[in-house]
Amino acid sequence: MSVVIVGSANVDQVFRVASIPAPGETVLSHGFATALGGKGQNQAVAAARAGAAASFIAALGDDAFGASVREGLRADGIAASVRTVDAPTGTALIAVDDSGENTIIVEAGANALLELTPDDEAAIASADVLVLQLEIPLATVARAARAARAAGTRVLLNAAPIRELPAELLADVDILVVNETEGAFLARSGDVADLAPVVIVTLGAAGAVAQERGAADVRVPAPTVTAVDATGAGDTFCGALAARIAEGAGLDECLRFAVAAASLSVQEHGAVPSIPSRSRIDAWLAASAG
């Protein structure tokens, strides 16, 4: 039941606005908050809160933001293999509008200097599932995936933010999670289902669909909820999914669990602050089944 996450850690600067400003426009915010975030950290917290023994490999600066990330990881019981590098901790500037939609600008900072050590590769090799995203160097993502593949650790790649991926990296991926835009970009004119043995496309308010080679598609609709902030919902989905995959649950069950976790997260503000615990997800699933 162990999940290793290799990825980014940011501190998010979140502005709440009536509507996302258009180019050249200035708008006044009606709320501001600082929250822990970064796709890697969000996924690590989501996996840990969903019940996995989670460890997180990341790079931070020697600064106050780095200290708050370390403190947050401790609070969530996440085993951190976090190195301090010569760059500021990653930050993100996020505008969230009144419908819960966002735009995000990431300054990678320390995340751009994340490299793997032989100890990291050993940790990856002894885990059940490796989770990766794309806010760190592609060479680090590829090296982690290769180490996992060699050891039989399952590789879950969340291809966000959108970027080109080398075929050799995709060949090491067992489960690819994309949104519709990322899927269309990576598949080009081909079929997104051909990109990995299991491809999961997240559909926002419509839920998610999983396409596994040789099996029927699994589609899980999302419940109707009042969304206040979609920031980190995709990361919550991936971390919760990885936790259930590590437990050996079937794809259908994993998908239902991940959709429930993401649906809970959009009802709260912030990335890490909105990630639900295992008991909340289980209670939500039980209530929807009844």
- Chain residues that interact with ligand RIB, rule: CB under 6 A: 8, 10, 12, 37-39, 42, 92, 104, 106, 135, 231-232, 234-235, 271
Nearer to ligand RIB, 35 or 147 (CB): 35
Least CB distance from residue 189 to ligand RIB, whole Å?
28
235 is known as an active-site residue: yes
Least CB distance from residue 7 to ligand RIB, whole Å?
9
Euclidean distance between the first and the last CA atom of the chain, given in angstroms as a whole number: 28
C-alpha–C-alpha distance, residues 61 and 45, integer Å: 20
Residue nearest to ligand RIB (CB): 37
Nearer to ligand RIB, 46 or 218 (CB): 46
C-alpha–C-alpha distance, residues 31 and 14, integer Å: 8
Nearer to ligand RIB, 122 or 138 (CB): 138
C-alpha–C-alpha distance, residues 206 and 125, integer Å: 35
Least CB distance from residue 159 to ligand RIB, whole Å?
13
Residue 83 CA: distances (Å) to CA of 6, 28, 45, 64, 235: 12, 37, 18, 15, 22
DSSP 162-207: -----HHHHTT-SEEEEEHHHHHHHHTTS-GGGGSSEEEEE-GGG-
Sign of the Cα torsion 31, 36, 40, 43 reads negative
C-alpha–C-alpha distance, residues 134 and 1, integer Å: 24
Please state whether the peptide bond connecting residue 221 to the residue before it is cis, i.e. omega within 30 degrees of 0: no
Exactly one of 12, 172, 235, 282 is catalytic; which is it?
Answer: 235
Least CB distance from residue 168 to ligand RIB, whole Å?
25
Least CB distance from residue 11 to ligand RIB, whole Å?
8
- Among 61, 107, 69, residue whose Cα is nearest residue 86: 61
Nearer to ligand RIB, 99 or 279 (CB): 99
Nearer to ligand RIB, 85 or 271 (CB): 271
Report the amino acid identity of residue 142. Answer: A
Q: Could you list the active site residues? A: 235
